[in-house]
Structure 1
Amino acid sequence: MRSIAVVGTGLIGTSVALAARSRGLTTYLLDRSSLAVGAAVALNAGIAGPPPEPVDLAVIAVPPAQLATVLKEQQDRGLARCYTDVVSVKARTRLAAARAGCDLSRFVGGHPMAGSERSGPFAAAADLFQGRNWVLTPSPSTDRQAIDLVLRLVALCGATPVLMEEEDHDRTVALTSHAPHLVASLLSARLESIGPATAQLIGQGLRDTTRIAGGSPGLWTDILGANAVAVAEILDGFAQDLGRALEALEQLGSEDPEHRRGGERVLGELLTRG
């Protein structure tokens, strides 16, 4: 593989471009925002604009709702021989791409398990994917050449490829990423109106718990919407546990010793599971 194009020069796209450039690949950068492309170019992530001829691989690094449209557009213009993406929801976006008429035989779904609460090209790093897992979701109809090219990209980024079914991936990230982000945001929102005195008492535990809430609300609305059913299933169980915890705390505040013992038992069970 000698050349790639990155469509979408945010955190992930620019990090892919920086990693590719560091390994000697000719890299082209496309984004509807000229400012984002300019920032990525200033970081030496690649060349602004489309390539003069099709590149080996195009990386579509846009939000989930835009994937099908952008993939179809770039395939129609002949941007690359093969295509992949970095979207964190696979089943619904692939279905949208199929409905849009994309050539899915030359497309490999991908999701690098790396990121940051920061966004934009200036948050990017060439080593962002070093030592991280990179999920790939090829189908039986995916061209072998496309799979090989994406595996080379993962390798040059220093990541480890993990093959998964799309639905398995989406259920997994609902638990490990998407639901935790929403919970962190809801917890962080409780701090909206605190005063200086309270702010002085915020420790590292709360900072760690709410750090990811700093992500882009627009992007995360898109991500959560694309994986809504799986996230809702996770949060339903969470809500049940939260309801039990609330009831236990109310019992612990009771004057009735029996109620207090029951609340202590339930709360202990919840904390022990955690």
Structure 2
Amino acid sequence: MSCVESDAEVPGWWRRLGLPGLIDLHVHFLPERMERRVWHHFHHGGPLMGDGWPITYEWPVGRRVERLRELGVQRFPALAYAHKPGMASDLNAWTLGFARRTPGCLPSATFYPEPGVETYVRKALDDGARIFKVHLQVGGFDPRVPELDGVWGLLAESGVPVVVHASSVPVPGGHVGIEPIAGVLRRHPALRAVIAHLGMPEYDPFFALAARYERVALDTTMAFTGFSEQRMPFPARLRPALRDLGLAGKVVLGTDFPTIPYPYAHQLDALARLDLGDAWLRAVCWDNGAAVI
């Protein structure tokens, strides 16, 4: 498959693959005040960001939505995540409202270990949430805590996926690494978990986790890009496993739009340059995401 060098080339790229567009399961839109604070951290770095990085799409929300449409991203969430008690329910109201007024946006929600968490997660599901997000590094919580056991069980029963930032990227911190989320899956093996960033830099154990559990997948967010390869290179020994997992429905497209230090096209170009075949690209960029949601 030919590579793609600019955002303008993206629609032609997926059309040549025979796809109707792209499904990106790792996209962020946030309430304005929260978004400004998040972007400040990206600009200035810090304990959870390392040195930080520039944001290519630091644009007004309408322009960002329009860019996704221009790229041909047919389905995407507005992933938000809570870092302290008392945030998640309000964030869910915002993300669900954003989805209602934004064509193509998947209704999304989040949660945090706190009193009432199971109640508001159930309400989010009743209100149409089709994907959840938790960030174990930023949230700083252990996903195995008793307060969340009912939530994981509810999500496993519903089949609604949860994108979990579970690895030590961009820097170690919080309850990251394989064991916390693996502990959740031992209790709830039917959970439809999507491990963000392919689990980088702990690629090996997260690949093993995806192979072990039928409903666990990995998203490609920032993986294989020049930015990540300089810091957390993907090990060549896992290329056969990457191909097999993708063709088995266990690798989905994710990008981290808009908070990426390069054009959207670069993520797709990085996937194409893996030379794993058009069938693999079709699976990752559309089929697998469609099956998850």
Is the shorter-chain TM-score for this pair beyond 0.5, marking a shared fold?
A: no
Greater fraction helix: 1
Please say which structure displays the higher CA radius of gyration: 1
- TM-score normalised over the length of structure 2: 0.29
- TM-score normalised over the length of structure 1: 0.30
Q: Which has the higher contact order (CA 8 A, sep 6+)?
A: 2
